[in-house]
């Protein structure tokens, strides 16, 4: 066992899968000589060569288009974007080609599109986005948002082995802050399965990515007051693990959803609808949300702090809900 960062877990997953399957290739901006904007692919060029670690121009649409073609040709491309905000440049390629290809003419697209998302590092409005819900709304895609080093590695391995296009959002705030002992042996984490990170009885807090850690900190604070919150890590947003969500709500009878994405159209609204439709009689209080504000991500640190969910905000909302 070795303590491994979230970032190193991603590098290990790519290296091991490239070693396991010669069809796996890495393509993207500065993934080769430079080793990736955050050094996620450092050393892979030296290990696997130019034919499998391919630097591209800064053109997200071209990267995704080329990767889709590679998938059609029998390869299993991993396409990296330096900052996931610019995935918008490839929106048409992703939603109208990759997502619909299997439905339209039976052609699988074994593509993993990965890159850093999220705020908390003062990256400003063009380098801090959480664009996952644009793609959760697109049938044919899978959307993965790991919160731990173990899951980052195991879910990325599952994504690479999947015959469907998978969007893999890596929260940059976690890259070097989260460390974990990982197994030496090969393992995967199933796509579409949530995890209960902390059992509780008084309310359920559902979250994912960096906000899982905020939620766990909040749960620890609430426990000092005698409020035991159950914390559920979604891990995958599409497909959504409805069974785990509903089981937790039926156990605790109250629900708080926490996410870093902006409020309107966020996954909290979908989860609220899901629970209302399937477990309304089990609720003992209104479903609550703690999210970012409906604005671009501010650059100034005090404004970004005000914009993002925090432990204090989660504790306050959870306390009110627990006492409802």
Q: Which two tokens mark 201? A: 């009885």
Tell me the H-state helices in the chain.
6-20, 44-48, 60-72, 91-92, 101-105, 132-136, 149-161, 210-223, 242-252, 267-279, 301-307, 311-322
CB 295: neighbour CB atoms within 10 A?
11
127 annotated active-site: yes
CB 300: neighbour CB atoms within 10 A?
11
| Residue written as token pair 């000589």 | 33
Query: Are 268 and 291 contacting, i.e. CB atoms less than 8 angstroms apart?
Result: yes
Catalytic entry in 102, 127, 137, 323: 127
| Residue written as token pair 């209960």 | 196
Q: Which two tokens mark 184? A: 């030496």
Known catalytic residues? 127
């Amino acid at each position: 066992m070795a303590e491994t960062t979230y970032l190193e877990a991603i590098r290990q997953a790519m290296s091991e899968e490239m070693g396991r399957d010669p069809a796996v290739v890495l393509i993207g901006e500065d993934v080769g000589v430079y080793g990736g904007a955050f050094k996620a692919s450092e050393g892979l060029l030296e290990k696997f060569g130019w034919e499998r670690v391919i630097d591209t121009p800064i053109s997200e649409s071209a990267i995704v288009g080329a990767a889709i073609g590679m998938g059609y040709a029998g390869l299993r491309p991993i396409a990296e974007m330096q900052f996931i905000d610019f995935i918008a440049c490839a929106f048409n390629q992703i939603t109208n080609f990759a997502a619909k290809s299997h439905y339209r003419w039976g052609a699988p697209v074994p593509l993993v599109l990965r890159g850093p998302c999220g705020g908390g590092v003062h990256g400003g409005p063009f380098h801090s986005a959480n664009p996952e819900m644009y793609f959760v709304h697109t049938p044919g895609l899978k959307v993965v948002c790991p919160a731990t080093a173990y899951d980052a590695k195991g879910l990325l391995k599952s994504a690479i082995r999947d015959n469907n296009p998978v969007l893999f959002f890596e929260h940059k705030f976690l890259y070097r802050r989260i460390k974990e002992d990982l197994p030496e042996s090969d393992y995967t984490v199933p796509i579409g399965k949530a995890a209960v990170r902390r059992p509780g009885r008084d309310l359920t807090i559902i979250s994912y990515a960096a906000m899982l850690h905020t939620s766990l900190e909040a749960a620890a604070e609430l426990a000092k007051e005698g409020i035991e919150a159950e914390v559920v890590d979604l891990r995958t947003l599409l497909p959504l693990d409805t069974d785990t969500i509903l089981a937790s709500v039926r156990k605790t009878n109250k629900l708080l959803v926490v996410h870093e994405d902006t409020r309107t159209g966020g996954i909290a609204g979908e989860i609220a609808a899901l629970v209302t439709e399937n477990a309304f009689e089990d609720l003992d209080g209104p479903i609550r949300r703690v999210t970012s504000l409906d604005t671009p991500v501010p650059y100034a640190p005090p404004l970004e702090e005000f914009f993002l969910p925090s432990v204090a905000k989660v504790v306050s909302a959870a306390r009110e809900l627990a006492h409802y």
